[in-house]
A and B are shown apart, each in its own frame.
Chain A
Amino acid sequence: MREVAKRVFAGEYRESDLMVKDGEDEFSPSYVITPTGERCNRLFIVGVLTEVQDIGESSELYRARISDPTGTFLAYAGNFQPEANRFLSEIEPPSFVALSGKANIYEPDENTAIASIRPEIIKLSNETERDRWIVRTAQLTLERLSDIDKDVRDHYDTDRKKYQDMVKKALEVVIEEVENDVTESNKRLNIEEGYVSDSPSNDVGEEDPDEVKDDRKDIGPKDIVNDEDKEPKENTEDSDEDNKEDKDESKEVEEWDFSNI
């Protein structure tokens, strides 16, 4: 059976430090357990690729940062991920990408656990698909929040409020953006006249849902300007990680019996 590609926000995924294995042998699948209790062997994300760096020494190893409204995913593609590797060697960030890959946790030192992704496939995407991903991920996160497994709560001491706020923040980005895009010129006029909101022209964008069209080619810097302030603050984990040599192998952080989740 193929593993389902789970939908988790970066802000939640990056807090994960728990990895479990479904069985004893070498080929048993492993899962990253997130603070709301999602069991991820595979992930699917659509976000903004903001940075690609070749950090390999003898051979190519790309580190990519993919941003969503709640934080950044780290993806590492080496020789064992030829398709993703090729994509990352050619792409110029920023751009919208869709990625599916394997969930993983690195432990560069005792106090640091970094949840990352080994991409299987990365493709160019667009704003509409990104918005759909945010909405779907929000929906699934809220569903998980309503029923978190006790073992997961014990491990993470999951703060429901925090993840609800995270979901809200992500959804607000979807709502704001469309308004900005459609009414940009109207707004500019309104500013000159001294008022911004409550103008009837602000509702233009709501009239026609078909306005949101699928168009893969329409990817350009203008679409992601707003993402500047959404970039997560770099924390110490990242500098640690820059110092260490990123190997494409994971160390498991902890092994618990989570087979009942």
Chain B
Amino acid sequence: MVDKVNEAFDRAIRSLENVDENKIRKELEELILNYKVPVDQAVTTVVRKYGGEFNQSLERRKIISIGDEERGVNVVGRILSKNERDIVVEGEERKVFSGTIADDSGAINFTSWKEFPFQKGDVVKINNAYTREWRDQLELQIGDYTDLQKGQDDSVAELKELTSPKKVSVNDVGDVYAAEVEATIVDIQEGSGLIKRCPKCNRAMRGEECQEHGDVKGNPDLRIKAILDDGLGCVQAIFPLELTEDLTDISLEDAIKKAEDALDRTVVEKEMKEIIGKTILVKGRLIGNNFLVDNFSNPKWDPKEKAKKLIEMV
């Protein structure tokens, strides 16, 4: 809580001139500690009260500190990915850009409703953007009033550094571009095991039908939708074919045979449940609500060594 006051104080003071700093701190303390007003609102309230111009250009935010429903957000970050698509708004075709931008503190997805003339790897200075949540994930919105400029290349870490997986707890996988987490598989969800994919769109089919393309001859595939849980948070993780084979010791061939023998595809999913209870180290990315696993390994630590260290701390 005290950290929050400090953060708010730093931000408020940058937008104010000739003020009693103690007074500002006291007022922020009251708003944040006693009334539990969110930091952003506390800062704006105090700045407005003391006649400060809420000086947006001064305030560069760390991406990790950005919250939901904020306005006037300024960041400098490197573009990690960029896509574009066409949408129709009120009968008019528009281009929408989306992707991920990161600074040294973390990463955030963005959507740009205006021309976005930057490429993957570019450093961009974004002023006066806003945020909102989209499918449970925070997004930086770039609108008509947002100012975009090319930023200084050395002001943000290199692409390779930014995209390398960061060690986090399960709760924080959404705050980084790529994450490394250690967690236990506590459940295997329906839709795991042997599935069929539509040959046209590659989406998993329900039974013998693709939701989009109807009755098609599906291609067999293996996957696991596992709940990874570290005691502090949990997330649904998707293991693609090869990783599923490694993790379960069941190859696609084996799986097809097992299903044929049993005349039932779900026997594979049932058998895969034997991995429940296993603790693994995974690297991957959170896309929407799913953590897409790139690779996994056994945890690196030795329980005995760690137990000794912990005992010394008690």
Contact = CB atoms under 8 A, between A and B. Distances in A.
A79 interface: no
A150 interface: no
Given A44-B231, A121-B273, A164-B314, A131 B299 contact: no
B250 to A, nearest CB: 14
Contact of B313 (A2, A121, A142, A206): A142
B230 to A, nearest CB: 8
Contacts of B274: 123-124, 216
A120 B186 CA distance: 10
A175 interface: yes
B18 to A, nearest CB: 40
Contacts of B307: 131, 134-135, 138, 171-172, 174-175
A5 interface: yes
Interface in B105-157: none
**Chain B contact residues: over half helix, strand or loop, or mixed?**
mixed
Contact of B303 (A4, A120, A174, A179): A174
Given A5-B186, A100-B187, A136-B231, A128 B303 contact: yes
B47 to A, nearest CB: 30
Given A100-B186, A132-B299, A134-B303, A168 B314 contact: yes
A240 interface: no
A123 B310 contact: no
Contacts of A120: 187
A220 to B, nearest CB: 18
B304 A174 contact: yes
A214 B185 CA distance: 14
B234 A135 contact: no
B184 interface: yes
A140 to B, nearest CB: 5
Interface string B165-190: 00000000000000000001011000
A72 interface: no
Interface in B291-309: 298-299, 301-308
B37 interface: no
Given A2-B227, A142-B313, A129 B304 contact: no
B29 interface: no
Contacts of B230: 136
Given A44-B229, A168-B311, A131 B279 contact: no
Contacts of B305: 206, 209
B303 A135 contact: yes
A89 interface: no
A212 interface: yes
Contacts of A174: 303-304, 307
Contacts of A4: 229, 231-234
30 contacts: A2-B227, A4-B231, A4-B232, A5-B186, A5-B231, A5-B234, A44-B186, A44-B229, A97-B277, A98-B276, A100-B186, A100-B187, A121-B276, A123-B274, A123-B276, A128-B303, A131-B303, A135-B303, A136-B230, A138-B307, A142-B314, A168-B314, A171-B310, A171-B314, A175-B307, A175-B311, A178-B303, A209-B302, A209-B305, A212-B303
